Amino acid sequence: MSDLSAALRAGYQDFLASRSDAVFAILIYPLIGLVLVGLGFHMNFLPLLFPLIAGFVLLGPIAAVGLYEISRRREKGEDAGWRHVFSVVSSPSFGAILVLGLYLFVLFVFWMFSAQEIYRLTLGPEAPVSLFGFLSDVLTTRAGWVMIITGFAVGFVFALAALAISLVSFPLLLDRHVGVPVAVVTSVNVFLKNPRVVLAWGAIVAAGLILGSVPFFLGLMVTMPLLGHATWHLYRRAVH
């Protein structure tokens, strides 16, 4: 467990040293979050607003690849300016990183289909009439609470799968010339050998992203770089 606090401290130092570069690397992330919220307030998409935001977290490791590169270069004593965020494209493992990112995107799509099906079987299939009517149905009816509990249970499974797959796989691909299968198996092995530590890390990441979503996802410009840099240092401690 001490590795978690050490990784967070190291990530914080990276963030202090390259704040503007780190913020630039993930600026698109809060902007996409705002677009998703705007889309979700359309009545047809309202039941999927929370699943959209929650599922968006599954794609976080993809957005953090540039942060891993900054931390990697700082660790080696190399220049770690914002321009090097794009040097990931010239990495020999860039193709593998894209494939792994596609895996996470497919996981996100399956989560959204699952969330839609949960809504259909509980409060659906009709779209809500109004925002307040939808919130009332969710919080004051049995079907609404079944939807909440089932959604959290199924969402936890998807989040656990994403965590196990991506915990160290993206940093590993960036750091060494290995393929996607090796990276994913290594990440899953880290999870299986250290479940308590990995679950604690997942809780830290979830809490940081929730806090960063207030207000209007602007906090992600701080919490996302901090967690991204810390993930790199956690990888360095977990994989030898």
Give percent helix, percent strand, percent coil of the chain, each to the nearest 5: 80, 0, 20
pLDDT of residue 87: 72
pLDDT of residue 50: 84
Q: State mean pLDDT over 159-183.
A: 93
Judged against a pLDDT cut of 70, whether residue 109 lies above it is answered with: yes
Residue 62 in tokens: 């993809």
pLDDT band at residue 42 using 50, 70 and 90 as cut-offs:
low
CA 159, 165, 168, 171 dihedral sign is negative
pLDDT band at residue 153 using 50, 70 and 90 as cut-offs:
very high
CA 205, 206, 210, 213 dihedral sign is positive
pLDDT of residue 234: 96
Which amino acid appears at position 237 of this protein? R
CA 87, 93, 95, 96 dihedral sign is negative
pLDDT of residue 49: 81
**Residue 203 and residue 187: Cα distance in Å, rounded?**
17
**Residue 28 and residue 45: Cα distance in Å, rounded?**
22
Give the global pTM.
0.85
Q: How far is CA 159 from CA 2, 89, 165, in A?
A: 23, 27, 10
**Residue 218 and residue 37: Cα distance in Å, rounded?**
13
